[in-house]
């Protein structure tokens, strides 16, 4: 099936009670046993599983082409579960350009716990190879990365990871399976903050892991999911499942809008640099062209002269864009990223991160035009 059809078909729930077309929400903490003490539908307790979560997890696995999906209460809960699947003394390779909170999670929580890590530019395969240790067990990749949109060659690094006995995991939040399929490129695990494009309406928190094959890793992740309890509620699962039904349409249209905005920004007075992998001058453009299909995503960043004060000024002058932290919703969002990440992050002071929504791109461009003119 084409993805538009698949997104509708996999999220359909065949209601045996009332034949409802829309999936019911199972707001229950526990499930009744029959007279013999058996579980007729396989559900015991909603921390372990629930019909709404079961539908979401199966849908996620099918869309990413994986064997199993696991839903969590947030993207960070999903990342934490993956890191917890490894042992003290294991070594992780990731990039300094990875999502800032993921890096803080490694530094502030998992390094004291005993997980070692090295930050290296994952777009440089030779540098990654040089960073490998005998105890390297995980490559944690993010492409396009947040917020600098760095591109990593997934197939090349998955091959390298497997040569040294490591797991290759990819944060696919920005691309979604609409544009990029890491498991098909050789990765072992895909992570999503389902808060973003899967939910699509800025009204729910969620996270997910999809594993390529059933085995020791998937068993360990399910164990962590169940025992730590960082799961989404039935209603959260329902919202994300509903969002999946329009995911291909939204993501493709947002990609079209983002590329138009990015190309307009190039060369505008006050704009020093535009970060978008769909631009031919982007250093990762050729790799992105090879591993991303149907567009380059709805996210872009651009840098203005004058540092953080100028970035604040531009964001504050916008009228169509909403100044807020998040991405992937139907509305266009913008933020001076340094405010969120703090002075220690490698993000340039004047960088504005943009999540392009479903408004007409001409209106977004007009809004950016008047805001940039306010810098003069």
Quote the longest CA-to-CA distance of the chain: 77
- Tell me, what DSSP letter sits at residue 246? T
The 3-state DSSP class for residue 20 equals coil
Catalytic residue among 54, 90, 171, 349: 171
The 3-state DSSP class for residue 183 equals helix
Residue 195's closest CA among 240, 233, 225?
A: 240
Catalytic residue among 47, 58, 159, 263: 47
- Tell me, what DSSP letter sits at residue 187? -
Residue 89's closest CA among 64, 114, 69, 71?
A: 114
Catalytic residue among 26, 53, 99, 222: 99
Catalytic residue among 53, 137, 196, 222: 196
Q: Measured at the alpha carbon of residue 207, what is the angle toward residues 31 and 20, in degrees to the nearest 5?
A: 45
Q: Is 171 considered catalytic here?
A: yes
Sorted by sequence, the CB contacts under 8 Å of residue 260 that are 6+ apart come out as 361, 365
Q: Is 260 considered catalytic here?
A: no
Sorted by sequence, the CB contacts under 8 Å of residue 309 that are 6+ apart come out as none
Paired with 3 in beta bridges are none
Contact 311, 349 (CB under 8 A): yes
Neighbours of 293 (CB within 10 A): 13
Q: Is 58 considered catalytic here?
A: no
Name the phi and psi angles at 268, rounded to 5: -70, 145
Crossing angle of helices 307-317 and 361-373, in 10° steps, is: 130
Q: Is 275 considered catalytic here?
A: no
**DSSP code string of 24-88:** PP---SB----TTS--TTS--BTTT--HHHHHHHHHHHHHHT-SEEEEESSHHHHHHHHHHTS-T
Sorted by sequence, the CB contacts under 8 Å of residue 178 that are 6+ apart come out as 3, 197, 247, 248, 251, 252, 294
Q: Which residues are known catalytic residues?
A: 47, 99, 171, 196
């Amino acid at each position: 099936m084409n993805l538009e059809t698949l997104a509708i078909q996999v999220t359909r729930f065949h209601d045996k009670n009332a034949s409802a077309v829309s999936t019911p929400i199972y707001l229950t903490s526990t499930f009744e046993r029959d007279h013999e003490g058996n579980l007729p539908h396989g559900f015991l307790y909603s921390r372990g599983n629930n019909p709404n979560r079961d539908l979401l997890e199966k849908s996620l696995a099918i869309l990413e082409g994986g064997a199993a999906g696991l839903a969590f209460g947030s993207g960070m809960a999903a990342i934490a579960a993956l890191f917890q699947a490894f042992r003290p003394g294991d070594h992780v390779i990731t990039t300094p350009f990875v999502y800032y909170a993921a890096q803080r999670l490694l530094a502030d929580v998992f390094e004291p716990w005993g997980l070692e890590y090295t930050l290296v530019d994952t777009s440089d395969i030779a540098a990654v190879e040089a960073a490998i240790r005998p105890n390297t067990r995980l490559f944690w990749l993010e492409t396009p990365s947040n917020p600098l949109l760095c591109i990593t060659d997934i197939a090349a690094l998955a091959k390298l990871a497997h040569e040294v006995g490591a797991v290759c995991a990819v944060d696919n939040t920005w691309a979604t399976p609409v544009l990029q399929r890491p498991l098909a490129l050789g990765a072992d695990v895909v992570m999503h903050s389902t808060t973003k494009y899967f939910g699509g309406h800025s009204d729910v928190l969620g996270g997910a892991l999809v594993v390529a094959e059933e085995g020791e890793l998937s068993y360990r992740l399910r164990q962590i999911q169940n025992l730590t309890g960082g799961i989404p509620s039935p209603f959260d699962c329902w919202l994300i499942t509903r969002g999946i039904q329009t995911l291909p349409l939204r993501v493709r249209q947002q990609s079209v809008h983002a590329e138009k905005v990015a190309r307009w920004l190039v060369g505008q007075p006050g704009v020093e640099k535009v970060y978008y992998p769909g631009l031919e001058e982007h250093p990762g453009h050729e790799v992105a062209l090879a591993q991303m299909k149907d567009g380059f995503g709805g996210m872009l960043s651009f840098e203005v002269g004058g540092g953080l004060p100028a970035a604040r000024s531009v964001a504050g002058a916008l009228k169509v864009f909403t100044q807020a932290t998040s991405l992937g919703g139907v509305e266009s969002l913008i933020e001076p990223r340094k405010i969120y990440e703090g002075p220690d992050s490698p993000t340039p002071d004047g960088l504005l991160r943009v999540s392009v929504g479903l408004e007409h791109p001409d209106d977004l461009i007009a809004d950016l035009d008047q805001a940039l003119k306010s810098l003069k």
